[in-house]
Amino acid sequence: MLALVAAFVGGGAGATTAGCTATGVCATTSDRPDAVSASSATTTRFVAEDTSLANHSGNKLSLVEFHQTIPPGFTFVKDSLGACTATTGGVTCLNGSILDGQTVANTLVYQTPVLAAGTEQTVTFAGKWCWAGCEAHNGGAARIDSIDVSEPTTVIAKSGFDATYVLAGAEADLATGGAASATDSLAGTWTIPGQPNDLPATAKEKPNPPGFQACPADGKLCRSGSWFGALSPGTASFTPYSRVVYTQYKSLVPSGTTAANYQVVYTPCLPGDDPAHPAGCEAVRLPRCTSASDLRCTEFVQKIAGGSYRVGVRIGSHNGYMM
């Protein structure tokens, strides 16, 4: 069964206001994806730290800078504005002037550290927006010319999960495990070819939430077990399209299923994914792909030796989960 989670059009993953001055200057911060995978000897993974400064003070802000401390093990890669340079332990971004009513937004990209298999850690990206000379004023002065920002980011090195910030033009293969077995009944890979823009991407296995109607009420066969998640919040389309190939162990496939009648099930969201649909979204069956213009469909179903099934799903429009 396949389910896809609806993508949210736009940029960050729920940027939060870090703080505002009494004069109306406000900063936000967020990260994509969170959680993110650790890098390894054979794979490189990235995380994006989004931040912005909005000026509603009635005056121009001059000499605007952003400073961010690099947590141990991370490596600065780039920023979306080309305004930043890295030194040992930190990044400095020179943003010039911001007129009243304007907002400057930047995304700083870092390579994640290598962690021991089976572990995870949460680190904090601490930063500061400042202007008018930044540290030139006494700390006890009444004049406010800086806002601190802080974003916790979780890094994971565990099977069943793979997440990264995919750089524009780069291909990514996100894998949740090896061969499916009686003890690891679902395994797959989400292959994303080079896209026009950077995007966050997470592949993971997620048990079906209790009470969620995973099988459409049409009387046809459905599989059971965990969903394969292929998630990219903020991504409305993939050009070229991406592809998920997963294997579902035979114990999850009901009697009477064949390669011909196997149908993938899709849902825009599961419970907890979308505040507008707290109980989850309707699950429907995906059609087989019939032309190059089909943007969300089942490409192939193969029954493999031993009775398990290998399935390919095209994801060109939005993204989500599959079972």
What one-letter code names the amino acid at 212?
F
Nearest to 266 by CA among 77, 91, 5, 61: 5
What strands, in cross-sheet order, belong to the sheet with 309-317? 172-175, 186-192, 237-248, 309-317, 296-303
Q: Which CATH class is domain 16-157?
A: mainly beta
Q: What is the pTM assigned to this prediction?
A: 0.89
Nearest to 294 by CA among 253, 262, 264, 260: 264
pLDDT tens, residue order, the chain (323 aa): 333 322 222 233 456 778 899 999 999 999 999 999 999 999 999 999 999 999 999 999 999 999 999 999 999 999 999 999 999 899 999 999 999 999 999 999 999 999 999 999 999 999 999 998 886 655 555 556 899 999 999 999 999 999 999 999 999 999 998 787 877 888 999 999 999 999 999 999 999 999 999 999 898 888 888 999 999 988 989 999 999 999 999 988 888 889 999 999 988 789 998 899 999 988 989 999 999 899 999 999 999 988 999 999 999 987 788 88
Half-sphere exposure of 186 (CA within 13 A, CB side): 23
Query: At 252, is the secondary structure helix, strand, or coil?
Result: helix
Query: At 251, is the secondary structure helix, strand, or coil?
Result: helix
Nearest to 209 by CA among 267, 296, 126: 267
Domain boundaries of the chain, sorted by first residue: 2-6+159-322, 16-157
CA distance 225 to 69: 42
User: What is the number of residues in the chain?
Assistant: 323
- The per-residue pLDDT for 196 is 96
- The per-residue pLDDT for 7 is 25
The helix or strand, by DSSP H or E, that contains position 306, with its residue range, turns out to be: none
- The per-residue pLDDT for 108 is 98
Query: Could you read off the pLDDT of 170-198 as tens digits, one per residue?
Result: 999 999 987 878 778 889 999 999 999 99
Query: At 229, is the secondary structure helix, strand, or coil?
Result: strand
Helices (H), the chain: none
- The per-residue pLDDT for 2 is 33
